[in-house]
Structure 1
Amino acid sequence: MKHKIFEITIMEKIGLHILKLAFLLISINVFSQNSSSVTNGTITKKIISQYFKNKRTIKILLPEKYDANKNYPVIYTLDGFELFPIASSYVNFLTKYDVIPNCIIVGIYHNNRNYETMPNYGSDIRIPVTEFLEGSGNLKSHLLEEVVPMIEKQYSVSGFNVIIGHSNTATFVNEIISKNENNFNGFIAITPDLLKKQTDYLEKHLSEKQLKQTYYFVSSGLKDDKYRLESGIMLDTIFHNSKNTNFKGLHKIYSAGHLDLVPKSLNDALMFIFSDYKNYDDFNDKVLNSKFSISNYIDQKSILNNKIYGINYKLNEEDFYYLLNLVLEKKDRKLFEQIFEVGEKNKFFNKDDKYASKAQYYEEIKLYDEALKNWKLQIEKGFYKNTFYFERPFILLTKKLKRQKEAIVFLEKAIKKYPEGKLIFNYLIAQTSLKYSLKKNKGIKAIDYCINRFKENNKFSLKDALEIKSNINKN
């Protein structure tokens, strides 16, 4: 059977070229409507929203050392003109001091705020008060179906999303929690205004739905509208009564009005949303378990941070020393050895002073023999730069362990090990001999060396040495 051959005429070819050109022009036109620029580190994007049928402004601030190979939580601020600058400032300082993890901040700018954020107070009887009005419904769709997908496509995100709103947009934040399609984990509502039916709806949602880990912070002002304060109090009751183990809610009241409530509460809000980041508040309870392992405890914290915030967290030096101090309070040798091992593994100790550090911590928990052992190891390993590394174990022997004869022998060996300290060591030998009535001849020999070879130092004067010799001769 012969195959039929189709021939394309010149006119058809021209038609195809025209069609291709038309598609190209459409593509160029659409592309030109979406634009991006960068000013002072802030990325400004202009995008066309299919829900609002107009051009929208989105601003993005990446962490200072943004790395596409790392994942970052994203904080979305509604009321971009108001909340994006202040949220960016607060987040900048909180991340600088590692109070919260590095985050991407996104500002949503409204073209017609009243239309886009008007709460549903039942003015349209056709729309239940638990549903959005047209404008806020478009805002929800714009946020969830246009902005969030765009951010997730273009940047390295962790999957932990936070949304912040104030006044009308705080009410919006509250209403979006109970929507099944919402993909936020943290909610910050600064002075929302809600009907009881709306708070009841939230309570029902929290009791019936299996949530992912969710944090909800609400702030109210004593100088603000009384209905807004009442909304906060209703939400507070819901927070306290909720038995949803994946939900954490906090309501705080401030001596503030409608506007100054933003700066007064936003810092607390951000810290609450990230309250499980580097949270070691349960350490004292966990440590009571006889099978407790500090290394496993820290590993579990890392796993928890990854599970909740989607980030890889590594123990930092400041947190290590915080845990070390908690361990020292327990005065438990086993726990101390565990925490010290963690410090060594993470290289938190100066390698030249490792044993000296360990010795001092042992002294603090009154395990003096272990302390002495580590002072000696510090010297045996060759890490001694001055007389300090010999004086400390000497003081430990004389004052804490009450082994003065051994202390003198220790310093005699120290003279051979560290000749630069001979003057100081001889003075200590003479001083100890006098104080504890030990080996008078050694004491005289040692103080004679100090007098005959005296050099200015910060340990004793020539007058001190002469006085010791006089006292030794009297005994």
Structure 2
Amino acid sequence: MKRIFLFFLFITVFQLSKAQVIVETIYSEKLQQERQLKILLPKGYSDTDKKDYPIIVVLDGDYLFELVTGNTDYYSYWEDIPKVIVVGINQADFRYDDMNYSEQNSLPIESGANFFEFIGMEVLPFVQSKFKTKAFKVAVGHGETANFINYYLLKEKPLFNAFICISPDFAPEMPNYLAESLAKIKSKIFYYLATSKNDVQHIKEVTNMFHDKLKIIDNKNVLYNFDEFEAPSHYTMPAHALPKALENIFLVFQPISKKEYTDNILKLEGSPVEYLVEKYQTINDLFGIKKQILVNDFKAIAAAIEKTKNFEYFEPLSKIAKKEYPDAMLGHYYLARFYEQTGEPKKAMRTYQSGYILEEIGGLTKDMMLDKADAIKADFGY
């Protein structure tokens, strides 16, 4: 059954992504040749959009692009990640030259150095001039290209904010360079690294040694995650690693889960409302996205208030709900609960009644609001 579900899931997301792909051929002054880009725009994308989108740049776009777009389409549908623009760089005929590095210092030279500049000085400016993209940028690579994307981390101001390095075939000195660079980096960087027990032997060994270096780095700017899978081969690794990488990078963007509710919110010593505000401010700070607070997340905070009996938090929660959903009854419901639990039943009754004229939302109905008001009226004889 699980295999059948995954098969239909793959077909669905592949069709969704395929329908939106734009193929662009650009001439590169750096490479002195034409190169092909595959670009996926999010569903509903419009040039008149007021919002911008994060961008994911995929090396080895010939075979990784569809895998990335399928995952981003699926996860964004469930609001676990934001809608993104995905750019795949096809390399099948040029990969060996693109990955060229010096045997002396492991850094890009000649055609490799040109490809490095091609991405930063031609691909990204081209995409940003044509489409609405945000400052948050993710790089994806596999094998040799997973090594290559790390060169951008050696710059004082990295070009990318997040790196997905799947089964990297590192140049000899790169693990040392990277460990030193990440230890000192001053901007927030998401770094995902993956290998497998069934990976190519030297890749597995070097990746694990590199992991040993990274896990002891004491730098709060580095948000690091590592996976060592059991069965995947070097060539099947991307299918296993990409979902995990996206989940880790966009963890704070995801709706409040049962685990987050239990492990974090219920154990707070302070206000769960402030936790909610800080969660969405972090989304804005990290990804440049002003995300509307989900009704699901309001309900999670309200449930925590009920469970801990800290009913005074309903008042600030109601203010935020009214701001986020001004035409819905959510804010009135929370304010009524505040009055009801803090000894002002008449105000609670009137607030429930006034919420009746607003839109239903998140399981709150007009009948429920009236029933709440009538119950107070019956209890107190108003």
Structures share fold, TM-score greater than 0.5:
yes
2:88 to 99, 102, 107: 107
Superposed CA RMSD: 3.6
Quote the Cα distance in structure 2 between the aligned partners of 1:99 and 1:390. 34
Question: Alpha-carbon deviation of 1:194?
Answer: 2.4
Residue 340 of structure 1 corresponds to which residue in structure 2?
318
Residue 10 of structure 1 corresponds to which residue in structure 2?
none
Quote the Cα distance in structure 2 between the aligned partners of 1:212 and 1:369. 49
What's the secondary structure of 1:69's corresponding residue?
Answer: coil
1:389 to 359, 371, 382: 371
Structure 1 pair 160/253, CA: closer, same or farther in 2 (3 Å)? same
Verify the 8 A CA contact 2:276 2:301 in the aligned structure 1: no
Quote the Cα distance in structure 2 between the aligned partners of 1:224 and 1:116. 24
Question: Alpha-carbon deviation of 1:251?
Answer: 0.8
Residue 251 of structure 2 corresponds to which residue in structure 1?
275
Whether 1:74 aligns to 2:55 is yes
What's the secondary structure of 1:60's corresponding residue?
Answer: strand
Quote the Cα distance in structure 1 between the aligned partners of 2:170 and 2:333. 61
What's the secondary structure of 1:187's corresponding residue?
Answer: strand
**1:154 alignment partner AA:** K
**1:229 alignment partner AA:** K
Residue 78 of structure 2 corresponds to which residue in structure 1?
97
Quote the Cα distance in structure 2 between the aligned partners of 1:71 and 1:286. 35
Verify the 8 A CA contact 1:56 1:111 in the aligned structure 2: no
Residue 88 of structure 1 corresponds to which residue in structure 2?
69
Quote the Cα distance in structure 2 between the aligned partners of 1:87 and 1:279. 21
**1:163 alignment partner AA:** A
Structure index of larger Rg: 1
Quote the Cα distance in structure 1 between the aligned partners of 2:64 and 2:374. 56
Verify the 8 A CA contact 2:60 2:90 in the aligned structure 1: yes
Whether 1:230 aligns to 2:181 is no
Residue 224 of structure 2 corresponds to which residue in structure 1?
249
1:152 to 124, 128, 131: 128
What's the secondary structure of 1:146's corresponding residue?
Answer: helix
Residue 192 of structure 2 corresponds to which residue in structure 1?
217
Question: Alpha-carbon deviation of 1:266?
Answer: 0.5
Render the CA deviation track for 1:157-204: whole Å, top value 9, x for unaligned.
211110101111111123332234641111001101225632111111
Identical-pair percentage? 23
**2:115 alignment partner AA:** L
Verify the 8 A CA contact 1:110 1:116 in the aligned structure 2: no
Quote the Cα distance in structure 1 between the aligned partners of 2:53 and 2:143. 27
Verify the 8 A CA contact 1:74 1:106 in the aligned structure 2: yes
Verify the 8 A CA contact 2:253 2:283 in the aligned structure 1: yes
Question: Alpha-carbon deviation of 1:351?
Answer: 3.4
What's the secondary structure of 1:258's corresponding residue?
Answer: coil
What's the secondary structure of 1:202's corresponding residue?
Answer: helix
Question: Alpha-carbon deviation of 1:89?
Answer: 1.0
Verify the 8 A CA contact 2:143 2:166 in the aligned structure 1: yes
Whether 1:374 aligns to 2:353 is no
**2:128 alignment partner AA:** E
Quote the Cα distance in structure 1 between the aligned partners of 2:154 and 2:368. 67
2:112 to 136, 147, 154: 136
Unaligned runs of 5+ in 2: 1-17, 358-365
Residue 322 of structure 1 corresponds to which residue in structure 2?
300
Structure 1 pair 167/382, CA: closer, same or farther in 2 (3 Å)? closer
Q: Which has the higher contact order (CA 8 A, sep 6+)?
A: 2
Question: Alpha-carbon deviation of 1:350?
Answer: 4.9
Quote the Cα distance in structure 1 between the aligned partners of 2:355 and 2:224. 54
Question: Alpha-carbon deviation of 1:52?
Answer: 2.4
Structure 1 pair 183/373, CA: closer, same or farther in 2 (3 Å)? same
Structure 1 pair 386/110, CA: closer, same or farther in 2 (3 Å)? closer
Question: Alpha-carbon deviation of 1:284?
Answer: 3.4
Return the TM-score normalized by structure 1.
0.64
Residue 58 of structure 1 corresponds to which residue in structure 2?
37
Render the CA deviation track for 1:269-290: whole Å, top value 9, x for unaligned.
012222333586596399524x
Q: Which moved more, 1:347-356 or 1:46-55?
A: 347-356
Question: Alpha-carbon deviation of 1:320?
Answer: 1.7
**2:217 alignment partner AA:** S
Whether 1:46 aligns to 2:22 is no
Structure 1 pair 348/111, CA: closer, same or farther in 2 (3 Å)? same
Residue 452 of structure 1 corresponds to which residue in structure 2?
none
Render the CA deviation track for 1:101-128: whole Å, top value 9, x for unaligned.
11111010015244235464xxx64x31
How many residue pairs align between the two structures?
Answer: 349
**1:393 alignment partner AA:** A
Render the CA deviation track for 1:320-352: whole Å, top value 9, x for unaligned.
222222322221011123223322333389539
Structure 1 pair 356/325, CA: closer, same or farther in 2 (3 Å)? closer
Structure 1 pair 343/240, CA: closer, same or farther in 2 (3 Å)? same
Quote the Cα distance in structure 1 between the aligned partners of 2:175 and 2:207. 10
What's the secondary structure of 2:180's corresponding residue?
Answer: helix
What's the secondary structure of 1:241's corresponding residue?
Answer: coil
**1:230 alignment partner AA:** E
Residue 288 of structure 2 corresponds to which residue in structure 1?
310
Verify the 8 A CA contact 1:119 1:168 in the aligned structure 2: no
Unaligned runs of 5+ in 1: 1-38, 398-405, 414-475
Verify the 8 A CA contact 1:116 1:138 in the aligned structure 2: no
Residue 165 of structure 2 corresponds to which residue in structure 1?
189
2:215 to 215, 237, 240: 240
